[in-house]
């Protein structure tokens, strides 16, 4: 299995690259010095390769881009948020091996409704 491309998003590009992209995007909020964040990198590249037809995988450095992390109430790392139709649909808190990430995403990527979330969107943090 080849490695896929994990996109880098920033505070400046977030609206264009995630909210208005028209695709499902898994954004992983992390920190450069975070060990669990680094441990997720190989799995994210594999996920980007195997699901490229349905999913874009992106990383956001929360230390360099604090506004977006604050908007979505990200306080622990890594934090993965799946965006569907520009709305947060699923939050995955902390390190997870690839198989658990895939299992959590399955209802969105393989479920009825063309991958639309089964639950309502998650609102950005009010803090």
Give me the active site residues, please. Answer: 34, 37
Whether residue 121 contacts residue 87, with contact meaning beta carbons closer than 8 Å, is answered with: yes
Give the whole-angstrom CA distance, residue 36 versus residue 30. Answer: 9
Whether residue 3 contacts residue 60, with contact meaning beta carbons closer than 8 Å, is answered with: no
């Amino acid at each position: 299995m080849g490695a896929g491309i994990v996109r880098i998003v920033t505070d400046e590009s977030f609206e264009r690259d995630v909210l208005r992209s028209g695709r499902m995007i898994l954004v992983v909020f992390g920190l450069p010095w975070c060990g669990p964040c680094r441990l997720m990198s190989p799995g994210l590249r594999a996920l980007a390769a195997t699901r490229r037809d349905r999913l874009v995988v992106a990383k956001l450095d929360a230390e360099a881009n604090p506004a977006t992390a604050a908007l979505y109430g990200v306080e622990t790392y890594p934090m993965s948020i799946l965006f569907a139709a520009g709305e947060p649909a699923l939050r995955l808190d902390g390190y997870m091996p690839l198989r658990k990430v895939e299992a959590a995403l399955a209802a969105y990527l393989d479920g009825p409704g063309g991958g639309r979330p089964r639950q309502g969107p998650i609102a950005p943090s009010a803090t």
